[in-house]
Chain A
Amino acid sequence: MIMKWRGWALATGVLAVSAMAQAAPPTAAMLSNACAGCHGTNGGSAGPTMPSLAGQSKEAIEVAMKKFKSGERPGTIMGRLAKGYSEAEVTAMAELFSKQKLHITTQTLDKAKIAKGASLQESNCGRCHIEDGKEGKDDTPAMASQWLPYMQMQMADYLSGKRKMPEKMKEKVDPMSKEDIEALLHFYASVK
């Protein structure tokens, strides 16, 4: 008996195999789940030096990834990883993380510094880091409830010139005392 190809394929399971080979291209969840080993489930970080991505703005993530990829923004690891993704893939991940609820961190902060930071933030940083840092203008990153050690490390990179500050942010930051900057970071870390 001569079996028709389709019958043969069904009988031997060849069809099932070829159907399986036709998997959909990686979705936003498939892509971003792989980041969670470092940034935490759904982008909520439990490690004080690792930034949360949950609730971060889409533009800020896109710009960060682009700058990591080109080397414009220094990073210990993100440059090597960002090179593995296309622009469309980054956009998909950025959109997913931006839709996650802001990750509320529990960290030890200084009350006096928070109060001082609160009094300084609106006039110095509020133009771009809007809504108490819960949001950012254009590609400005959200900083509310971000880990203090992470922000301190990033600020150190800005001040040493390793990471390039936006001109208008530099104008505000440069004249400030170390203590005031520290107070501002405590403030942003405290916002829930």
Chain B
Amino acid sequence: MTFLEVRDVEKYFGTNHVLKGITLDVDEHQVICLIGASGSGKSTLLRCINGLEAIQAGSITIDDLEVTQEESRLNFLRRYVGIVFQSFNLFPHKTVLENVTLAPRKVLMKSREEAEAIAEPWLTRIGLWEKRNDYPDRLSGGQQQRVAIARALSMQPKLLLLDEITSALDPELVGEVLTMVQELAAEGMTMLLATHEMGFARDCASSVVFLHQGVLLEQGTPDQIFTNPTCEPTQQFLKRVIEAKRI
């Protein structure tokens, strides 16, 4: 069943045409990887889906509810759509536990105890329950990013948007975060993620989407995209990525 419908979406920043007629479907339990060069519009697409940016034409529908800029609708939709950013964006003035419990308490109106009961399994799972009273600047990048994921999951989202969540991490920390995403995928979480980790996309994605200068150029199974890309830009992009990895 289609959970997220993106239809002919156009997005401008001033005169900069960033998304050009993007159409994309995400079914429940699917993991869709967005790949494409820097500036191709991956982050922008994710931000539009959760209403952080307004679109100028087309429509985005989540579970039959259209995403508009109407305040109350956004607040409602965002309960079901989590997003994790490249730069973690943890709240620096709150402890790990407070970071994770803030939204359940303020948005879902849970009591502190209830919220902590939600947070505990997630923090235990990422091995950070012991560090629950530390502030984010005490954690490594990988730990911070896992807390950010736990923070998004604490709202029990139906759709998780991940924007290059390993790009700001040291290479040795990438693995621990990707493992967590892989586990979530195995558990059936619906995910749309922008990534530069081609190995990960190949292993985990149900479908890979290639964005080129704001156009959705090609979509297919990882096998199709990585072994038989049909479009010239896709081929070039993949070649560049593979060469960069070798160096």
A complexed with B: no
**A interface residues, Cβ below 8 angstroms from B:** none
Interfacial residues, chain B to chain A (CB-CB below 8 A) = none
